[in-house]
Structure 1
Amino acid sequence: MSANRANNVDKLPSKDDVETARVSSRTLAKYADQSRVKLSIEGGQGKDELILPGPALDLLLNILGEISQGNAVNVMPVHAELSTQEAANLLNVSRPHLVKLLESGEIGFTKVGTHRRVLAKDVIAYKQATDAKRTEALDELAEIAQLNGMGYD
């Protein structure tokens, strides 16, 4: 990644980037069920071909999907150790709330000196579990509303 691209990691994509990602995502999605895809790349350095394994294709489709919605994207390995602030940001909660989750045992952590470190995979697992509970609760509320004729058809 060039120095210029590295400094723009948190920058929102331009309208041109959004449109390019949308078109690229649609094209690439046709090959989503493949275990490998061969891509041809042309640019200032010439022309190259590369083969992407299925997991890389899935990741690229997710990235393009986010960019096509105007979202900035940051990729991190699941085994990355996060600070409490980074983990809180990932969950979109305050750092003190995250510390309460850690201390109550809802999310695992280790201590490095006086600092808590949280594995990204543990934060992601917690987020998926809470999202599933939230969806289940909303489905139950919608069902109750329908049974009581509250206008949610």
Structure 2
Amino acid sequence: MEGVLFAPTPSAEALKAFREKLSPGKVLRLEEASLVLTQELTRLFRELLEALLRGEAVRVVPLEAELTTGQAAELLGVSRPYLVRLLEEGKIPHHKVGTHRRVRAQDLLAYLEASRKRGRELLDELLGEAQELGLGY
């Protein structure tokens, strides 16, 4: 996995116009090369364009990629020592290559999704308690 790449973002109008034209079965052409859009590719391109429209940074990582602890920590937005603690606690699967830990991108994303789900559940619990107590939420 390479470092972060930055590219100028096209105008919002251009991104929206391109996003609206995307649909399965359509063909993307770049000079003599062409690609028929599948349902999955269409969804991927739309999600990418929507993130760019929100001004978010985007990184594409293959699910089977093996990440270093530094790369994994960067993707999670946490410090490397905190990530290592998660690995040692068994919260994220990993394996060692020599003395170095490696994390599959797929396992990292599964942890991230589970963490977000748990966060939403906790927020729902807090909101429920606030409503029961009449705190106006």
**Residue equivalent to 2:86:** 101
**Residue equivalent to 2:9:** 14
1:70 CA displacement: 1.5
- Written as runs of structure 1 = structure 2, the 5 A alignment for 1:55-134 is 55-134=40-119
Alpha-carbon separation, structure 2, partners of 1:108 and 1:26: 39
Structure 2 stretches lacking a partner, 5+ long: none
1:46-101 Cα offsets, whole Å, 9 max, x none, are 7x653112111111111111111112322111000000011111111110000001
Alpha-carbon separation, structure 1, partners of 2:19 and 2:38: 16
- % of aligned pairs identical? 41
Alpha-carbon separation, structure 1, partners of 2:18 and 2:92: 37
Alpha-carbon separation, structure 2, partners of 1:14 and 1:49: 23
2:71 is aligned with what amino acid? Answer: E
SS at match of 2:134: coil
Count, aligned residues = 136
1:106 CA displacement: 0.8
1:11 CA displacement: 1.9
Alpha-carbon separation, structure 1, partners of 2:60 and 2:28: 23
Query: What's the TM-score once normalised by structure 2's chain length?
Result: 0.86
SS at match of 2:25: strand
Alpha-carbon separation, structure 1, partners of 2:34 and 2:88: 49
Alpha-carbon separation, structure 1, partners of 2:127 and 2:51: 28
Query: What's the TM-score once normalised by structure 1's chain length?
Result: 0.78
Give the superposed CA RMSD: 2.3
1:19 CA displacement: 3.0
Alpha-carbon separation, structure 2, partners of 1:66 and 1:134: 22
> Is the 1:37–1:52 Cα contact (8 Å) retained in structure 2?
yes
Structure 1 stretches lacking a partner, 5+ long: 1-6
1:93-138 Cα offsets, whole Å, 9 max, x none, are 1100000011111111111111111000000000000100000000
1:13 CA displacement: 4.2
